[in-house]
Amino acid sequence: MKKSLSLKRCAAFLLAACMVLSLLAGCGGGGGEKEPSNSTPSTGNPDASGGAPAGKDSLTVALTDEPDYLSTCDHDSLMGVQMNLLTYNGLIRIDMETLSPVCDLAESYTQDSDLEWTFRLREGVKFHNGEELTAADVAASIQYAQTFAASAIYTGSMEKVEALDSNTVKITTSAPTPNLLFDLGYHFNFILPKSLIDSGNDFSANPVGTGPWKFVSWDKGNSIQFEAFDGYFDASRKAAIQNLEFVMIPEGSTRTMSLEAGDVDFVYSVASSDIDRLRSDESVTVEQVVSVENFFLFLNTVTTAFEDENLRKAVAYAINREDIVAGALNGYGTPSYSCVSMGYAESTDEGSYTYDVDKAKEYMAAWGGDPSTVTLDIICSNATKTAIATIMQNQLSAIGINVPINEMDSATYQEQMRTTDLVSAIVSWSPANAMTYVQRFHSTRRQNTPAGMADAHMDELVEEMNTTMDAGARTGMIQTIIRESNDRCWFVPIYQVNYFRAHAAGLQNVVCSATGYVDFCTMHW
């Protein structure tokens, strides 16, 4: 099967990110962080390249929709995590350019055995409320995260988290956990002040962390405002822009016209229909990133007819991904045939399904049911997902499957994903490494999505992978999981995203990650 050359090149890049799991060395003093920028904010007049006005100290970002939560522990949405990255830090962070784990609040760490890890904290780190970070905050934060069902994948292995002294944390896992550093870099394990945990603070309404930005206000449905945290501990990543505002502009062309008019400075998601026009505008820079985000058709394989493997395979064969990319994305995407994005070192599309209506009909016959009794209700949370579902609706009619489409706002969509009534949804997923990706195939993910898959054999494979410290053996296990998941068609991959972000040309040092996030810390005028 053909794969894009850009994704093949990306695979070599991401190999280094995945191999870090086999390293047992600590971060050292620098923790792999970038050197401070030598650039200074613009002080001149705007120029033909889109330079910022004199004294500009703000950045306005246009979003398609707002996050569901600002807290760290009760969500798993891309936009929610993006907000968390502004206000919080973890012991470890995932570097947005290399996708490797590096030290963050931890100054260094050691792996003392297969089960024991010790982390030494940076000294003098302050929370936004003025309190100083201690090991007690770290222990309390992870223990707090463990009270949320959504965090189980990332906290469940941590049997004991203890403060040995004010600056030293020991984590003991219940079993060998090769993915621990990545787990600690995810938002569920971001560090909160123990005093606010103990007082019952609502972290969605009042997020308080150690991050480079302080929360100011949230006008739901309209805007979210942050300001730079002057006391941020990492001089190389301290925000150069004082005021950061996110505004909600759902309609794609309105977002880009707002950028061209100078009403916003950054468009988080560029509508595919506007890419060519923006590229011709000298005052605008378009960033294209080959991502590891995979869009797929989620299927309820527990309480619906799609429990039957033959029916799932019929759907997979009936979907023409090339037509979806052309029709819904104006060609700006890569057809996807694997349940795990191509680009990771372990990625493979073996066992997957290409477009073949005759094969689809054969599997419908093998299923043996009446197609008129099958209704594939698809929920969508934005216009792009609806466009994908609409094309899919027409394609699946060829095998007699009716496809109602239900478009809803993001909050309602997330609520529906957490019910057993869900039949199907257009969903995306983009973790930093393949091991985290395939955690999705374990039945414990039903804690987040009750309609998700449940298979004892797949649980065994994932559990064995999770406790295998040998990097080579673990790679083989990950590939086995991917091949079997492709073959059994637990869900149907559709396309792999190419991210298009756009911003005023005067905005410098813009870093857009392959995982979907944007590093606002590094930006300056």
Q: Contact 417/411 with Cβ under 8 angstroms?
A: no
pLDDT at 434: 92
Q: Report whether pLDDT(62) > 80.
A: yes
Q: Is residue 35 part of a domain?
A: no
Q: Is 261 exposed, middle or buried (0-12, 13-18, 19+ CB in 10 A)?
A: exposed
Q: What percent of the chain has pLDDT over 90?
A: 73
290 has pLDDT over 80: yes
The amino acid occupying position 446 is: R
The whole-angstrom separation of Cα 210 and Cα 15 is: 31
State the pLDDT confidence band at 338, using cuts at 50, 70 and 90.
very high
CATH code: domain of residue 446: 3.10.105.10
How many Cα atoms are found within 13 Å in the side-chain-facing hemisphere of 233?
Answer: 26
Q: Give me the pLDDT at residue 55, please.
A: 62
Tokens of 422: 């869900």
Cα(56)–Cα(326) distance, rounded to whole angstroms? 40
Distance, CA of 238 to CA of 483 (rounded, Å): 43
Segment of 66-75, 188-197, 447-456, 490-499 carrying the highest mean pLDDT: 188-197
Residue scoring higher pLDDT (449 or 393): 393
What is the per-residue pLDDT for 77? 80
Mean pLDDT of 439-461: 86
Poorest-confidence range of 126-140, 184-198, 348-362, 419-433? Answer: 419-433
Task: Give the count of alpha carbons within 13 A of 504, CB side only.
Answer: 25
CA distance linking residue 463 with residue 480, whole number of Å: 13
Instruction: Give the pLDDT score at 16.
Output: 37
Mean pLDDT of 86-110: 96
**What is the Cα–Cα distance from 186 to 31, expressed in whole angstroms?**
17
Residue 26: closest CA among 108, 112, 116, 113? 108
- What are the residues facing 110 on neighbouring strands? 118
Higher pLDDT, 212 or 345: 212
Q: What are phi and psi of 217, to 5 degrees?
A: -165, 160
Q: b/e per residue, 33-44, with b = 16+ CB within 10 A?
A: bbeeeeeeebee
Residues 253-273 have a mean pLDDT of 95
The confidence band for 208, taking pLDDT boundaries of 50, 70 and 90, is: very high
Q: Residue 69 — very low, low, confident or very high, per pLDDT cuts 50/70/90?
A: confident
The two three-digit tokens of residue 187, written as one number: 């938002």
Using the predicted structure, report yes or no on whether residue 2 has a pLDDT greater than 70: no
Q: What pLDDT does residue 46 have?
A: 37
Burial of residue 511 (number of CB atoms within 10 Å: 0-12, 13-18, 19+): middle
CB of 60 closer than 8 Å to CB of 259: no
| Confidence class for position 13, pLDDT limits 50, 70, 90 | very low
**Range(s) of the domain holding residue 346:** 291-498
**C-alpha angle 23-27-32 in degrees, rounded to nearest 5:** 105
Task: Read off the pLDDT band of 447 (50, 70, 90).
Answer: low
Helix locations, 101-179, DSSP H: 135-145, 152-155
Give φ, ψ of 245 to 5 degrees: -125, 135
Contact 462/285 with Cβ under 8 angstroms?
Answer: no
449 within domain boundaries: yes
Is the pLDDT confidence value at 502 over 80?
yes
At 301-322, the pLDDT tens digits run: 999 999 999 999 999 999 999 9
Spatial separation of the C-alpha atoms in residues 521 and 19, rounded to whole Å: 26
Q: Does residue 465 sit within a domain? A: yes
pLDDT of residue 7: 39
* Max avg pLDDT among 199-203, 291-295, 417-421: 199-203
Please determine, for residue 14, whether its predicted confidence score (pLDDT) is greater than 50: no
Domain contains 492 = yes
Q: Residues with Cβ < 8 Å from 146, sequence gap 6 or more?
A: 152, 155, 156, 158
Judge whether 510 and 501 are in contact, CB under 8 Å. yes
Q: Look at residue 194 and tell me if it is in a domain.
A: no
pTM of the predicted protein model: 0.77
Q: How confident is the model at residue 356 (pLDDT cuts 50, 70, 90)?
A: very high
Does residue 432 form part of some domain? yes
Distance of CA 56 to the CA centre of its chain: 31
Q: How confident is the model at residue 432 (pLDDT cuts 50, 70, 90)?
A: confident
The pLDDT value recorded for residue 458 is 94
Question: Tens digits of per-residue pLDDT, 320-336?
Answer: 999 999 999 999 999 99
- pLDDT per residue as tens digits for the range 378-418: 999 988 999 999 999 999 999 999 999 999 998 899 899 98
Q: How confident is the model at residue 420, as a pLDDT?
A: 86
DSSP character for 249? -
pLDDT of 86 strictly over 50 = yes
Q: How high is the pLDDT of residue 38?
A: 30
- The yes-or-no verdict on residue 167 having pLDDT over 90 is yes
Number of domains in the chain: 1
Q: pLDDT-derived band of residue 343, with 50, 70 and 90 as boundaries?
A: confident
- Is 207 inside a domain boundary? no
- Give the Cα separation of 394 and 420 in Å (integer): 26
Residue 278 lies in a domain: no
11, β-bridge pairs: none
Q: Given this model, what pLDDT does residue 212 score?
A: 98
